[in-house]
A and B are shown apart, each in its own frame.
Chain A
Amino acid sequence: MALLRYAYYPGCASHEITKEANETTIVVAARLGIELVDMPKANCCGAGLLTDYDYPLSLALNARIFAEAESLGLDIMTICSTCLMVMNTANRDLRNSPELLEKTNAILARTGLRYGGNVKIKQLLWVLAGDYGIGNLKKQVVKPLNWIKAAPFYGCHSLRPSDALGFDDPMKPWSLEAVIEALGAESVDFKGKTKCCGFQIDLVDEETAAKMTATRLLDGKGKGANCFVTPCPFCHINLDNYQSLAEKAASKKISMPIFHLAQLVGLALGLSSGEMKLSRHLVSPEKIIK
Chain B
Amino acid sequence: MKIKFKIKRYNPAEGEPAEPYFQAYTLDVEEGMSVLDALLKIADEQDTTLSFRRSCRSSICGSCAVNINGFARLSCATQVMPEYAKMGDMVIEPLSNHVPLKDLIVDFNPFWSRIEKVAPYLTPTSRRARRRGDVPARENDGARVTARDEEAIDKSQRCIMCGCCNSECNALEIDDRYIGPAALAKAWRLVGDVREGNSRKRLERLSEEHGMWNCVRCVHCTQYCPKSVSPLKQIESLRSRAMKEGVLDNPGAKHVEAMADSVKRVGRLDEAAMTFRTLGFLRSLGMIPFGLKMERHGKMPKPLLFPQIENIAEVRDIYEEAERLEKEDRERKKG
Contacts and interface: CB of A to CB of B under 8 A. Distances in A.
Interface of A: 12-13, 15-17, 40-44, 46-57, 60-61, 64, 85, 103, 106-111, 113, 156-157, 160-162, 170-172, 191, 195-196, 198-201, 203-205, 208-209, 211-212, 215, 241, 244-245, 279-282
A279 B236 CA distance: 38
B81 interface: no
B268 A15 contact: yes
A55 B217 contact: no
A107 B213 CA distance: 28
A224 B290 CA distance: 28
Interface stretch (B17-25, B185-193, B316-324): B316-324
17 contacts: A17-B299, A17-B301, A44-B262, A51-B240, A53-B243, A57-B323, A61-B263, A160-B218, A160-B223, A171-B69, A171-B87, A201-B213, A201-B216, A203-B279, A204-B252, A205-B209, A282-B293
Given A54-B243, A64-B315, A241-B294, A43 B219 contact: no
A160 B219 contact: yes
A191 B69 CA distance: 11
B315 A52 contact: no
Given A48-B217, A156-B218, A208-B214, A111 B256 contact: no
A47 B269 contact: yes
Given A208-B175, A212-B216, A282-B299, A111 B239 contact: no
Contacts of A111: 311, 314, 317-318
A260 B275 CA distance: 23
A161 B118 CA distance: 26
A177 B86 CA distance: 17
A283 B334 CA distance: 58
Contacts of A241: 294, 299
A61 B318 contact: yes
Contacts, number: 193
Interface in B255-272: 255-257, 259-260, 262-263, 267-269, 271
B174 A208 contact: yes
A244 B290 contact: yes
Q: Which of A41, A107, A110, A212 has the most CB of B within 10 A?
A: A107
Contacts of B267: 43-44
A160 B326 contact: no
Contacts of A52: 236, 239-240, 243, 256
B309 interface: yes
Contacts of B269: 12-13, 44, 47
Contacts of B294: 241, 282
Interface in B287-308: 290, 293-294, 297-299, 301-302, 304, 306
Interface of B: 69-71, 86-87, 170-171, 173-175, 178, 209, 213-220, 222-223, 236, 239-240, 243-244, 251-252, 255-257, 259-260, 262-263, 267-269, 271, 274-275, 278-279, 290, 293-294, 297-299, 301-302, 304, 306, 309-311, 314-315, 317-323, 325-326
Interface of B, secondary structure class, is: helix
A10 B301 CA distance: 17
Nearest to A106: B325
Nearest to B277: A203
Contacts of B170: 156, 195-196, 212
Nearest to A198: B216
Nearest to B71: A171
Contact of A56 (B252, B298, B322): B322
Contact of B299 (A49, A171, A203, A280): A280
Interface pairs A-B: 7 shortest CB-CB: A12-B269, A57-B322, A160-B219, A52-B239, A49-B259, A196-B218, A111-B314
A203 B255 contact: yes
Nearest to A51: B236
Contacts of A279: 297
A117 B71 CA distance: 33
Contacts of B268: 12, 15, 43-44
A172 B271 CA distance: 34
A107 B321 contact: yes
B280 to A, nearest CB: 10
B222 A161 contact: yes
Nearest to B242: A52
Contact of B317 (A110, A171, A209, A215): A110
B259 A160 contact: no
Given A43-B315, A61-B318, A161-B219, A201 B301 contact: no
A52 B215 CA distance: 12
Nearest to B306: A15
Given A55-B240, A61-B263, 20 more contacts: A43-B267, A44-B263, A44-B268, A46-B259, A51-B236, A51-B240, A64-B318, A106-B325, A107-B321, A161-B223, A171-B69, A171-B87, A172-B87, A195-B173, A196-B218, A199-B216, A200-B216, A200-B217, A212-B173, A215-B173
